[in-house]
Structure 1
Amino acid sequence: MNNTELALLLLAALGAGAVNALAGGGSILTFPALIAAGLPPLSANVTNTVALFPGYVGGVIGQARDLKVQGGRLLLLIPAALIGGLAGGLLILASSERQFEALVPWLLLGGCGLLAVQDRLRALLQRRSGVLGLGWAVIPVLLAAVYGGYFGAGLSVIFLAVLGLTIDDSLTRLNGLKQALALGANLSAAALFLASDKLVWSAAAVMAAGAMIGGAAGGRLASVISPKSLRAIVIVIGLGVALLFLIG
C-alpha cells in the first residue's frame, strides 16, 4: 500500500477510535476506508477486525473495576464468546469474495440499525422489571459472537441487550461485562486472522495505532462532543456506503 492510502487509513482509524470511545460503531468508518484504499471486501473485513482489536482491550481495562465481582458470569459466558467468535471467523474465511460482497450492504444496514436503537435500548433496560436468568444468556451470547467474528458492527449493542434481559444488575456493570464478551469474540477471530493471507499487515498496524490514539482522544472529548450527534454521523456514512454497494 502507498503512503496516501496508509494516511487515509490512519485518519479513519483515528476517527473510529474516537467514535468507539464516545458512541460506538467505529468499524462502520474503517471498513469503507479499507475498501476505498483498494482492499477487496473480504480482506478489508479481516484486516479491520485485527486493526480494531486493541480498542476492545482498552475497553476492558477501562471497566476492570466493574468486572472484579463478576467472575462467575465471566466463567460461564466468556467460553461462549470465544467459541462464537472463532466460528464466525472460520465462516468468513470459508466465504467466497462474491458471497461476502453480496452480504456487505445488509451487514452495514444491520449495524446502522443497531446503532440507531442503542439509546432507546439503554432506556428500556434501565426500566426493566424482570429478567430471564443468567443461564438464558449462553446461547444468545454464542450466536451474537458468531456474528461478531463474521462482521461485528453493532455487536456491543446485541451483547448489552442479551445481558439486560437475562441478568439483574446495574447498567454500568452490565456494560463492563459486555466489553469483556466483545473482547472474547474479537480475540478468537483476530487470532485466527493473524495466520490468514487475507490480512494486510501494513494497514492493520497503522490502523491499530490510530485507533488507540483516537480512543484516548475520544475520552477527553466526551464533554464537548455529543455522542448522539456523532452516532448520527456514523449512521449516515454507513447508510451511504451500503447504498453504494447496493447500486454498484
Structure 2
Amino acid sequence: MTPLALGLVAATGLIVGMLNAVAGAGALLTFPLMVGLGLSPLAANVTNCVGVVPGSIAAVVGFRKELRGQGPTLRKVVPPAAIGSVVGAVLLFTLPSKVFDYAAPGLLALGALLVLTQPLLAKRLRTIAPHHNNTALTTSMFANGAYGGYFGAGVGIIFAALLGLLVTIDTHRMNAVKNVLQTVANGVAGLIFCFTAPVNWPAAIVLAATTAIGGPLGARLARHLPATALRSVIGVVGLVTASTLLLRVF
C-alpha cells in the first residue's frame, strides 16, 4: 500500500476503534475501504479481522469497571463464542461468500430491532424456564461467534442484542460484555488468519495501532451515554449497516 492509502486506513481505524466500542459495526467502514484500495475481498476481510483486535482489547480495558462481577456471565458466553469463531474461520475457506452475504443483512436488521425493543422482550423472556434460556444463550453465542469468524460485520451488534435478551444485565454492562465477545470472536479467528490467510500486514499494523487509540475513547463515550441513548445508537447503526450490506448484495 502507498503512504496515502495507509493514511486513509489510519484515519478510518481511529473512527472504527470508537465505533466498535460503542456499537460494533466498524467492519462496515474498513472492509469497503480496503477493497477500494485494491485488496481482494478475502484479503480485506482477514486484514480487518486481525487489525481490529488491539482496538477491541483496548476497549475491554476501558470497560474494566463495568466488567467487575461479570465473571459468571463471561464463563457462560465466552467458550461457545470462541468455538464458534474457529468454525467460522474454517468456513471462510470452505463456503461460498454468498451464503453470509445474503444472511448478514437479515441478521443485523434483526439484531438491531432486538436491541431497540430489548426492555420489553427481555421482560417477557424472563418468564421462560432458566434452562431454556441457557440453551438458547449457548447456541446463539456459538452461532454468532461463527458469523464473526467468517465475516463479522456488525457481530458486536448481534452479541449486544442476544445479551440484552438472554442475560439479566444492565445496558452498560451488556455493552462491556459485548466488547469481550467481540474481542474473542475477532481474536480467535484473527490468530488463525495470521498463519493461513493473505493478511496485508502494513494495513493490519496501521489499523491495529489506530483502533487501539480509538477503542478507549469509544469506551469513555459509551459510559456517559444514557442506557436508552446507547441502545438507540447500537440499533440505528445496526439498521444502517444492514441496509448497506443489503445494497452490496443486490
1:53 aligns with 2:57: no
Q: Summarize deviations over 1:107-162 as a string: whole Å, max 9, x none.
A: 56346525743651444356556155362211211111111111112222322333
SS at match of 1:195: helix
Aligned to 1:138: 138
- Equivalenced residues, count: 241
Aligned to 2:30: 30
- The offset of 1:218, in angstroms, is 4.3
Most deviating of 133-142 and 31-40 = 133-142
Aligned to 1:183: 183
1:113 aligns with 2:109: yes
- The offset of 1:212, in angstroms, is 2.2
Over 3 Å counting, the alpha-carbon distance change for 1:199 and 1:25 in structure 2 is: same
SS at match of 1:24: coil
Contact 2:122 2:165 in 1 (8 A): no
Determine the C-alpha separation between the residues in 2 that align with 1:180 and 1:219.
12
Determine the C-alpha separation between the residues in 1 that align with 2:41 and 2:177.
31
Show structure 2 runs of 5+ residues with no match.
none
Over 3 Å counting, the alpha-carbon distance change for 1:157 and 1:83 in structure 2 is: same
- The offset of 1:60, in angstroms, is 2.0
For 1:30, give the aligned amino acid: T
Aligned to 1:196: 196
Contact 1:20 1:26 in 2 (8 A): yes
Determine the C-alpha separation between the residues in 1 that align with 2:62 and 2:86.
25
Determine the C-alpha separation between the residues in 2 that align with 1:124 and 1:115.
15
Over 3 Å counting, the alpha-carbon distance change for 1:242 and 1:32 in structure 2 is: farther
Determine the C-alpha separation between the residues in 1 that align with 2:233 and 2:109.
15
Q: 1:59-138 counterparts in 2 under 5 A?
A: 59-95=59-95, 99-100=96-97, 102-103=98-99, 105-106=101-102, 109-110=105-106, 113=109, 116-117=112-113, 119-124=115-120, 127-128=123-124, 130=126, 132-133=129-130, 135-136=134-135, 137-138=137-138
Q: Summarize deviations over 1:53-89 as a string: whole Å, max 9, x none.
A: 1222123222223333232332333211111111111
Runs (4+) of structure 1 exceeding 4 A deviation are 125-129, 216-224, 226-238
TM-score, normalized by length of structure 1?
0.80
Determine the C-alpha separation between the residues in 2 that align with 1:177 and 1:241.
25
Show structure 1 runs of 5+ residues with no match.
none
Aligned to 2:247: 243
- The offset of 1:3, in angstroms, is 1.6
SS at match of 1:55: helix
Determine the C-alpha separation between the residues in 2 that align with 1:59 and 1:154.
16
Aligned to 2:148: 148
Over 3 Å counting, the alpha-carbon distance change for 1:59 and 1:126 in structure 2 is: farther
Aligned to 1:165: 165
